[in-house]
Amino acid sequence: MYYLIKFSSSFLIVFVLLVSCKQETVKENKSVDVIKTEITKKDPLPSWNDTSPKKEIMAFVNTAIDKNHPNFVPIKDRIATFDNDGNLWSEQPAYFQLFFAMDRVKAMAKDHPEWKNKQPFKAVLEDDMKTLAKGGEEALIKLVMATHSGNTTVEFEQDVKDWIHTAKHPTKNVTYDKLVYQPMLELLQYLRANDFKTFVVSGGGVDFMRAFVTKIYGIPEEQILGSRIKTAYEYNDGKPVIKRLPAIEFIDDKVGKPENIQKIIGKKPVFSSGNSDGDLAMMQWTASNKHKSFMLYVHHTDADREWAYDKNSHIGRLDKGLIQAKKDGWTVIDMKKDWKIIHPFELN
């Protein structure tokens, strides 16, 4: 399983590098004609159209790294924080971590015969999404607790690794890791090439993410922040383990994001990117940096290639964030207009 992961993530990186040698023509799409994915010094963001967001990002980076510019940012302060769901990869029709929890319920069901008659497990086992949705947040927490705890950190990591490269998205029919955004992979790489330190700051579970995103995003475990459950260290006769307990310790969403950033990173980001109102406090915190900072919202506008949703969505709701972005001149990506390609598999 490990080698599969290695192959898959290397694939993305190697591919991006290889295509710089030739021009790629990929399958046509309403908003895509011919796509070049050449990451060069001249164009570090080849999957972005030459519209405002790309220009604004590059203008910001060029001044941030220019020692003689008033907007120069010292390297130690080049902290860039990215939401994950809906910002670095897709999040529809439900957070992918929920699909993981549901698949785990199915896998664990043989040891839990009582689940056949117990909600929300019954709904999951019967693929009854309607009943599951009715259970609301309480049902979700029950599912997460049952599937994300009771084992050690090592065992949980293996569960996620096994899942991410076998389970398939219900409508896109590809493994979930294929649903990352190619333009964001390029943006992460571009920022790092300019000495920004890139972090994920997500409402998703931190250990769920760490099991696979480090290789896909090129971001090490220690730069992934997320929601956490409680844990307990046990010496275990010289073979110590950390057990995952069935209790939520911290939800890394809304005001939790700047709070967690302060606790773990210890300084304000100078670049933040998100796609929902859950990211607004992080954006505001970033906007208050003493250095000139950059706030980037992803607006899901492409129902053909991805999904189109904002203020009326039950997932990744974007309402107040969009209003403040317009008011304060933050950059908003119109996915349909601004991204040449969305998912890396469009390049195949």
Min dist CB 242 to a copy of itself, Å, is 5
The Cα 121–Cα 114 span in angstroms is: 9
Instruction: Tell me which DSSP letter residue 264 carries.
Output: I
15/100 Cα distance (integer angstroms) = 27
Closest to 179 measured CA to CA, from 297, 338, 346, 11? 346
CA nearest 55: which of 68, 44, 67, 69?
44
Output the smallest distance, CB 272 to a copy of itself, in A: 13
Q: Which is nearer to a copy of itself, 134 or 230 (CB)?
A: 230
Nearer to a copy of itself, 211 or 335 (CB): 211
Q: How far is the CB of 180 from a copy of itself (least distance, A)?
A: 19
Q: Are 176 and 345 in contact (CB under 8 A)?
A: no
Report which of 100, 292, 96, 61 is spatially closest to residue 196, judged by C-alpha positions: 61
Q: How far is the CB of 284 from a copy of itself (least distance, A)?
A: 5
Q: CA-to-CA distance for 284 and 87, rounded, in angstroms? A: 17
Question: Minimal distance in Å, beta carbon 241 to a copy of itself?
Answer: 9
* Residue 92 or 273 having the CB closest to a copy of itself: 273
Identity of the residue, 106 or 197, whose beta carbon is nearer to a copy of itself in the bound complex? 197
Distance in angstroms (rounded) separating the CA atoms of residues 89 and 208: 14
Q: Please identify which residue in the block is written with the tokens 């409402």.
A: 203
Please report how close the Cβ of residue 138 comes to a copy of itself at its closest, in angstroms.
25
Sign of CA dihedral 131, 135, 140, 146: negative
Residue whose CB is less far from a copy of itself, 129 or 248: 248
Closer of 56 and 259 to a copy of itself (Cβ) = 259
Distance CA 175, CA 172 (A): 9
Of 46 and 258, which CB lies nearer to a copy of itself in the complex structure? 258
| Residue 187 CB-density burial (10 A; 0-12 exposed, 13-18 middle, 19+ buried) | buried
Amino acid at 36: K
Which parts of this chain interact with a copy of itself (CB under 8 A)?
A: 76, 79, 153, 197, 206-207, 210, 220-224, 228, 231-233, 235, 238-240, 242, 255, 258-259, 262-267, 281, 284-285, 288
Shortest CB 328 distance to a copy of itself, Å: 9
